């Protein structure tokens, strides 16, 4: 391949972005489960039956009953900046998440991302190696890609990525780059991700938050 063609190919390497804990500090599926559980005893029992059937099934059923509002999610500035830089270079940006595709597609639309998302659908829970297989199905077995994630489940994706970033867990002896500040302690991060203050606002009937940046937690 001539050098100039190699440069063009390099410039268009797709960027895959994890969502829960990465693009947003929230765990979308967990918050959806909790909202459903809070609606009553029958809903709690129904949710437990879904979970016994399987995580992917539970996410699918919950997504039908509970819709995420992408404008209210706590996005990470550093990941949004990474997405904007990739878009400026003309590179495809694809959200790849273990949350349900209905939620992830809504987020992609909200952020103006035109590429079809990769996310949990039916009985396939797209996490770890299952997500990697879905990415390979999308772009082919030998195509280079970049990936940003946050957890140990992303290790297999970081290993195959041309360039990789993490906003959370960093594997030892790896080339994964830190994106943003190191994560806070576990208990604090979990509480923050669940956003109890936002639930309090909702309970008090606060109005909608308009725009992406007004919903980003610092």
Q: What is the dihedral of CA 12, 149, 78, 100, to 10 degrees?
A: 90
pLDDT at 196: 47
pLDDT tens column, 91-128:
999 999 998 888 999 999 999 999 999 998 877 888 99
Q: What is the CATH number of domain 3-26+73-207?
A: 3.40.50.1000
User: Where are the chain's structural domains?
Assistant: 3-26+73-207
C-alpha closest to that of 196 among 40, 18, 30? 30
pLDDT at 10: 52
In this structure, what token pair is assigned to residue 107? 């987020």
Is the whole model's pTM more than 0.95, yes or no?
A: no
Strand partners, 17: 95, 148
pLDDT tens column, 77-92:
999 999 999 999 999 9
Quick one: how many helices (H) and strands (E) in the chain? Answer: 10, 6
Q: How confident is the model at residue 201 (pLDDT cuts 50, 70, 90)?
A: very low
């Amino acid at each position: 391949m001539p050098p100039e063609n190699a440069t063009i190919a390099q410039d268009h390497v797709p960027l895959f972005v994890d969502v829960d804990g990465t693009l947003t500090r929230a765990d979308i599926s967990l918050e959806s489960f909790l909202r459903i559980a809070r609606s009553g005893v029958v809903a709690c029992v129904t949710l437990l039956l879904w979970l016994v059937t399987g995580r992917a099934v539970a996410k699918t059923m919950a997504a039908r009953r509970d819709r995420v509002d992408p404008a209210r999610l706590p996005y990470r500035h550093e990941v949004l900046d990474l997405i904007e830089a990739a878009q400026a270079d003309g590179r495809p940006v694809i959200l790849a998440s273990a949350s349900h595709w209905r939620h992830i597609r809504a987020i992609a639309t909200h952020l103006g991302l035109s590429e079809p998302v990769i996310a949990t659908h039916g009985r396939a829970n797209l996490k770890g190696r299952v997500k990697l297989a879905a990415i390979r199905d999308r772009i082919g077995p030998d195509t280079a890609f970049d990936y940003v994630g946050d957890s140990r489940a992303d290790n297999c994706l970081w290993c195959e990525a041309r360039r990789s970033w993490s906003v959370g867990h960093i594997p030892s002896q790896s080339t994964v780059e830190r994106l943003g500040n190191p994560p806070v302690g576990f208990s604090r991060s979990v509480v923050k991700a669940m956003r109890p203050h936002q639930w309090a606002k909702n309970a008090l009937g606060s109005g909608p938050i308009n725009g992406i940046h007004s919903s980003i937690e610092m």
